[in-house]
Chain A
């Protein structure tokens, strides 16, 4: 929802409310809506009009107080005639107490009107001021506001009251500045990389020529003193290069190499290239979805996860065989499918399963059920991170002698690697 639209909408209400109030106070009920130009269709009795105004006031006050923007109506002496809850909250007074207080006392704890006060402009010109930015120091902190002021015409006296609507944009502004800063930082990074590259050419010239001088000093008429100076030049050029190299590393962003990938091909090629099939009596079964969309991802990372899940499955099968002294054939089923805008890769094995007490821990770094020295315990946590980096998820189920790991990868809009 666009906040300025909201403000525009409610400004209408507020103006109406204020007019109601003004009218009620003076006791003269005539044309409430000045724009109509037409008198009410039927004569309205004074009591009925009062009730109508009263109900309208209740409703509009609620609206008035619900608006998060700070709204106040001030008179020519900058005294608050009326304010909503947001205004009172910022001022640090109950709503009923703010009326009669001076705006700039409340707003900026100031002794005088703000230098660039938009309300003053509206009082003077009779025209609204829209979205003027103003900074106010309050409680040792600079608050940034966006303020709009609208005139309430009071007959021949010119502007009678001003409605002031303001919004604290401090956080927004900070966020914006942060974005600008990070943009700036990124461009500094790019610049550094550029400079480091460009410096390499002159530096290689400096150091190469210095090396030549040192190789054959007499050829260039260089005495001992000259040699020591040229040695210093060579060393400094080498040091400058070391600094450039460090800068280059610092500014380098983690590289992401996204490629439109056929997941079925990736899965079969990866699984079939593993050396475990020759040595273990394990059957592999592929159930691949036809017409799977290509996914923009980093195939090497997905590949790493598939390798890890398959190796784990083979180990689980070996463990079950040893535990049960059974010769039941091991089976690993690999499948792909497309579901709810996700491409899913499942690896199901009939190995030893994951004990219930371990299930909450398997993605923890360094958690391992394997004997010390076998495996780092990092495989699944790394796999999890790799899949998350692709904007996907990795999860598992283990029950009734079957363990299933599923890799979910988003494609299209949700994909992290936009083509």
Chain B
């Protein structure tokens, strides 16, 4: 399980008490990365004491130290090591723990296991190269549209255009109409802020953004999914805010919150939602719908902040 470290740029530690799951993840990742595995959190910390890893992927429920505890320890001891949880259970039940331990990536163990997704997420985490819709598409896929939005009128036009495109090309747009409306509205009205942090524009007003405040929308597809990426050039959204909002919606406390419903609903209605944040630079929200329902079920949590 080692010896080729020189050739492989990044190293990954898998922690899971189930041998078959460790083998499954190692088998898949070992061709690209230097991989090692541990059966418990304690054993993982021992390994980390001997060498450094770029990423630790840990199961949540393990005898002894739990996954969230392990990752919290790793972040204190080795701040540069990236972390993610992996679970067969409902990810929503761990949002609170995620918030508490500041964990932003939870990978669901779907049946069949979604290796392509694991690939995108792992690559993003170890390289820090997270932006752009293209890198979330399979090799047979392509980005087919890039739209720049500079005003509310542009936004409406772009939404109508994309929905029509989905309907024509794929015969469905899922709940994209609703989601796009939420995410684009968020990007237009809530992203641009004054220096003191207050929002610049009032919701529902017809506005034209300043030249540096533009939004761009990408749309693409591959053999198993279609996807949209919406990027604002502000980067004010933080992972803490996203976790806070999602948790409030999941527990039902945030029903009357003035904001936060959009993110929650998008996560609920799209098959996948990935949020990428470059603080004070840009925020990208990627929404994915699969053509077949084979990966449906528990929704992951993917928030990357550089």
Contacts and interface: CB of A to CB of B under 8 A. Distances in A.
B255 A201 contact: no
Give the interface size bracket for B toward A: 20 to 34
Contacts of A212: 24, 27-28
B23 interface: yes
Contacts of A245: 297
A151 interface: no
A208 B256 CA distance: 41
A201 B109 contact: yes
Nearest to A259: B252
Say whether chain A's binding surface is mostly helix, strand, loop, or mixed: helix
Say whether chain B's binding surface is mostly helix, strand, loop, or mixed: loop
A207 B199 CA distance: 48
A251 interface: no
Contacts of A257: 252
Nearest to B93: A197
A203 interface: yes
Interface in A185-201: 197, 200-201
Interface in A245-285: 245, 257, 259, 265-266, 269, 275, 278
A208 B21 contact: yes
Contacts of A266: 256
Interface string A204-216: 1111110110010
A70 to B, nearest CB: 54
A201 B24 CA distance: 12
B27 A200 contact: no
A205 B256 contact: no
B65 to A, nearest CB: 18
Interface string B205-237: 000000000000000000000000000000000
A197 B91 CA distance: 12
Contacts of B23: 209
Nearest to B26: A212
A335 B24 CA distance: 61
B253 interface: yes
Contacts of A203: 111
B204 A204 contact: no
A200 to B, nearest CB: 4
B115 interface: yes
Given A212-B27, A257-B252, A206 B20 contact: yes
Give the interface size bracket for A toward B: 20 to 34
A291 B24 CA distance: 60
B18 interface: yes
Contacts of A269: 256
B64 interface: no
Interface string A272-304: 000100100000000000000000000110010
A238 B111 CA distance: 6
B111 A197 contact: no
Contacts of B27: 209, 212
Contact of B20 (A202, A215, A278): A202
Nearest to A204: B109
B111 A275 contact: no
Contacts of A208: 21, 24-25, 28, 109, 112-113, 115
Contacts of B89: 197, 200
Contact of A205 (B24, B90, B252): B24
Interface in A300-335: 300, 303
A204 B115 contact: no
Contact of A200 (B24, B111, B115, B294): B111
Contacts of B24: 205, 208-209, 212
Given A197-B90, A205-B21, A212-B24, 7 more contacts: A197-B89, A204-B21, A207-B112, A208-B109, A237-B111, A241-B111, A266-B256
Nearest 9 CB-CB pairings of A with B: A208-B113, A204-B109, A205-B20, A201-B88, A208-B24, A241-B111, A200-B88, A212-B27, A257-B252
Interface of B: 18, 20-21, 23-25, 27-28, 88-90, 109-113, 115, 204, 252-253, 255-256, 294, 297
11 contacts: A200-B109, A201-B18, A204-B88, A206-B20, A211-B112, A212-B24, A215-B115, A237-B111, A275-B204, A299-B256, A300-B255
